[in-house]
Structure 1
């Protein structure tokens, strides 16, 4: 069963192949949906400092019928954090909110504040190095089992690799059918950095695509199930999200394979 399968990070930590995302999920919904997901087989939960739901996710982890040791928990330091000290404070606050002594994966949420995404990179290089040093120390001190980044492009990654002591183990980026053409995925996979794909359904943007629907019908699956399986076929870890129990369950029913011919057809979309 796919929920029991794992990828292995470069430091040998095993990470469940599907994560349960909580982006844009209000606190009460985050508790209910996360607990349902964990009680029904999910073993990997993704949250962030800025989501505003870490406390509720942490409570769901505590209340779930699954032992904490079987749950992989990810959180993220805000993109706006610009110093070592602030990053360490963010990490400690996240742990406190989650009610955990340790998370399994800690990420820098983005290489620059969201208000400046797409702007000149160089002025954020030193900031990212300082925040990365905080993650390295959190890793050394046992506050997290693995560290990585999110929304980093190739140049942002090279800055960390060239100036840090520990190479990023994960890069979490937006990935969905029709949006895998950048060189970031290839760079990560060539450098033993696991790619996690958030918004695998393009935030709902592919749900009406008749070309994907035709392929989904061939396998007796839904468009979301094909979209999630598509990423898995490319060794990308998908992070689907939903607050609806029906879809939470269906998103995990992806124990099938897509033929090479159909993968190529999806690649062309």
Structure 2
């Protein structure tokens, strides 16, 4: 099977363009799911403090027998830890729970505009980055206006912005801002929690290329240049989701899928979501 391409972030760190997400996987199932992903060939795992399964991800990485430097691990700051001292303590706990020496990427999970000043939170992440315990830092769910505000005071430009992206929410404005400022886009909920898989346009493309609708949507993400990490606990689907690099969508396929955009979210709106839990 062809290798997963790497994307070089703005600080020179490389990240596999395809990863494995553990959002909504219960802790008791996370270890096996992560092991399955690593055995399939994934070398990029995306977790978060909020998911409650960092320990299990770390255990699977340590037990894999794969060199630590070959596995890219992302985690994210919990919403209740935006105060700088809280952010530092939360990161220390993430490192302890993962038990893998360092984090490859650490993100502010949500901007939480009504909760506090995320520019102060970012300063704490910059300290963590300078310490070498996180190889790169970034943000998640930031809109262009959040990013503009952050960049006014930041010494370090975020390496990535992880946002909800799928054919019903193409996020062209956020992605364009990222491209302009060399901030890579990562796509969460890449198949809209399954909502796009029965769409007639995507079904027709899948029939043309002889692939599943999920593979078509994930390939659409890859060809757009975004970093994507589908989630599944079913080994067959984990393998299917990895088989994206031996076929290609035509420009017509790509434009037909992109035209499905209707600015429809499956998750919260970053401008109104302020849960600090």
Q: Same fold (TM over 0.5)?
A: yes
**What is the CA–CA distance in structure 1 between the aligned matches of 2:3 and 2:144, rounded to whole Å?**
30
**What is the CA–CA distance in structure 2 between the aligned matches of 1:226 and 1:162, rounded to whole Å?**
39
Unmatched segments (≥5 aa) in structure 2: 261-277
Unmatched segments (≥5 aa) in structure 1: 113-120
Give yes or no for the alignment of 1:145 onto 2:126.
no
Deviation of 1:217 after TM superposition, in Å, equals 1.2
**What is the CA–CA distance in structure 2 between the aligned matches of 1:182 and 1:67, rounded to whole Å?**
37
Instruction: Identify the residue that residue 83 of structure 1 maps to in structure 2.
Output: 83
> SS of 1:183's equivalent?
helix
Cα deviation, 1:211-266, whole Å, max 9, x if unaligned, reads 21110111111111011110111111111000110000000101121111111111
CA distance change for structure 1 residues 181 and 100 in 2, over 3 Å: closer, same or farther? closer
**What is the CA–CA distance in structure 2 between the aligned matches of 1:82 and 1:27, rounded to whole Å?**
24
* 1:207 aligned residue (178, 197, 208): 197
Instruction: Identify the residue that residue 168 of structure 1 maps to in structure 2.
Output: 158
Contact 1:95 1:101 in 2 (8 A): yes
Give the number of aligned pairs.
259
**What is the CA–CA distance in structure 1 between the aligned matches of 2:135 and 2:2, rounded to whole Å?**
22
Deviation of 1:178 after TM superposition, in Å, equals 2.1
> SS of 2:254's equivalent?
helix
Deviation of 1:134 after TM superposition, in Å, equals 1.0
Please provide the CA RMSD for this pair.
1.3
Query: Normalized against structure 2, the TM-score is what?
Result: 0.90
* Range with greater deviation from structure 2 (61-70 or 82-91): 61-70
> SS of 1:12's equivalent?
coil
Structure 1 segment 188-227 matched on structure 2, within 5 A: 188-227=178-217
Instruction: Identify the residue that residue 144 of structure 2 maps to in structure 1.
Output: 154
**What is the CA–CA distance in structure 2 between the aligned matches of 1:110 and 1:70, rounded to whole Å?**
28
Give yes or no for the alignment of 1:258 onto 2:249.
yes
**What is the CA–CA distance in structure 2 between the aligned matches of 1:101 and 1:205, rounded to whole Å?**
38
Deviation of 1:206 after TM superposition, in Å, equals 1.2
* 2:259 aligned residue (236, 244, 268): 268
> SS of 2:128's equivalent?
helix
Structure 1 segment 110-125 matched on structure 2, within 5 A: 110-112=110-112, 121=113, 123=114
Q: After the TM superposition, which segments of 4 or more aligned residues of structure 1 sit over 6 Å from their partners? A: none
Instruction: Identify the residue that residue 26 of structure 1 maps to in structure 2.
Output: 26
**What is the CA–CA distance in structure 1 between the aligned matches of 2:148 and 2:250, rounded to whole Å?**
34
Cα deviation, 1:55-109, whole Å, max 9, x if unaligned, reads 0010010111322110000000012323100000010000000012211000000
**What is the CA–CA distance in structure 1 between the aligned matches of 2:68 and 2:83, rounded to whole Å?**
31
> SS of 1:180's equivalent?
coil
CA distance change for structure 1 residues 190 and 222 in 2, over 3 Å: closer, same or farther? same
Contact 1:228 1:238 in 2 (8 A): yes
Instruction: Identify the residue that residue 51 of structure 1 maps to in structure 2.
Output: 51
Instruction: Identify the residue that residue 232 of structure 2 maps to in structure 1.
Output: 242
Deviation of 1:197 after TM superposition, in Å, equals 0.2
Contact 2:36 2:235 in 1 (8 A): yes
**What is the CA–CA distance in structure 1 between the aligned matches of 2:2 and 2:165, rounded to whole Å?**
19
Deviation of 1:4 after TM superposition, in Å, equals 3.3
